[in-house]
Amino acid sequence: MSRTSLPANTKIGFLGAGQLARMSALQAFRFGIQVAVFSDRPEDEPVQFMTPFSYSGSFESVEDMVAFAKTCDVVTLENEFIASDILKQVQEQSGTPIFPSPESFALIENKLIEKQTFEAAGIPVTPYKLVRTEQDMVEFGDEFGWPFMLKSSKGGYDGYGNAIAKDLETAKQGFEKLGGLAGHDILAEAFVPFTKELAVQVARNETGTVVYPCCETVQENHINVAVVSPAPIEEKFQKRAQELAIRAMEAIDGKGIFAFEFFLTENGEVLLNESAPRPHNSGHYTIEGCIASQFENHVRSVLGLPLGSAKMNKPVAVMINLLGTHNRPAQTDYISEGLAAENGHLHVYGKVQSKIGRKMAHYTLLGENLEETFQKAKSLTKDIEI
């Protein structure tokens, strides 16, 4: 293996300044790497308290991001809300490499392109159609069944950018709400009769590929409220999801950390639902749960460093998302029991304002038995208020 040097002034730049960049930045600091951050928000964000190299601007401004990128050795993403053509211009004009690359990002930058990319690679995806008219929605519902999901092709997360079409009237309402009448691309997606929602993280660069365990994501109201790893399913389905995640990563020649979300259907199919070119909420358990977390491998992968092991440290890891319970300045209450638990780990993201339902923190518990660990994690976090 060739020797790798890390000068003390090596600087990694994050486009986006939320909790995902914050947790990646913590790993960069471990390696003595400097961190710069670019925020498009008016309020102070979690990473901006951690580094003097903080920039503000617009994700639609090439000029703003070029000025930022010129101060960095490498730039990476915290979200997928930037257009690939803008990223390409930023990379060309600044001379700073961006990973995932604009070329990889262009293959998944909206839900329509993403489906087409993976379908072309022979990866099974949920049935979909670009809809532009009432007739398109009627035909989709007739073919794949009502209800179905309408999704904004760009920018949706945690249930935002989605609408359920129960019949033609609610389909028309959802289409309008999501901007279909204003010319936004709207995707119809069939509801798949699934038994589990799964996720797999993959880290990849020129030194190799590392695939994390297949985990289960537990959803309520389109928000991921908990993650259980490994997923409580047959090993053949775990391996199938991991294999498809690696194939998907190779199909876009991804460099960095990516997350891939799947449905396990009632008839035993594993269908790729969505991807994310960044660390993902489903991988937070890896901080304590795995030898090298998704955030450590995020930093390693984009800097071209050898990747760390994704093996688990304990048989089971359970992560509970802690959502805002009040609209108020952020304050974390009733955390003593969770902090006192052996193998319990609290992560508060440093957001200054709490909002009901906003992701404010998470709690991870490691254990030996899945059901016992899951129930204990829920018990330890049920009274926490933020």
**Nearest-angstrom CA–CA distance, 319 and 294:** 14
What CATH fold (topology level) applies to the domain 11-99?
A: Rossmann fold (3.40.50)
Domain ranges for the chain: 11-99, 127-190, 194-381
Give the tokens for residue 373.
């660990």
CATH architecture of 127-190: 2-Layer Sandwich (3.30)
Helix (H/G/I), strand (E/B), else coil: 122 = coil
CATH code for 194-381? 3.30.470.20
| Diameter over CA atoms, the chain | 63
**Nearest-angstrom CA–CA distance, 82 and 104:** 13
Written as tens digits, the pLDDT of the chain (386 aa) is: 456 789 999 999 999 999 999 999 999 999 999 999 999 998 889 999 999 999 999 999 999 999 999 999 999 999 988 999 999 999 999 999 999 999 999 999 999 999 999 999 999 999 999 999 999 999 999 999 999 999 988 765 555 688 999 999 999 999 999 999 988 899 999 999 999 999 999 999 999 999 999 999 999 887 889 999 999 999 999 999 999 999 999 999 999 999 999 999 999 999 999 999 999 999 999 999 999 999 999 999 999 999 999 999 999 999 999 999 999 999 999 888 999 999 999 999 999 999 999 999 999 999 999 999 999 999 999 999 99
**Nearest-angstrom CA–CA distance, 264 and 271:** 7
Give the tokens for residue 225.
């409220």
Cα dihedral 57→58→61→62 (10° resolution): 70
Write down the pLDDT at residue 183.
86
Write down the pLDDT at residue 81.
87
318 half-sphere exposure, CB direction, 13 A CA radius:
23
CA distances from 272 to 213, 235, 301 (A): 16, 18, 23
Burial label for 256, CB within 10 Å (0-12, 13-18, 19+), is buried
Write down the pLDDT at residue 1.
47
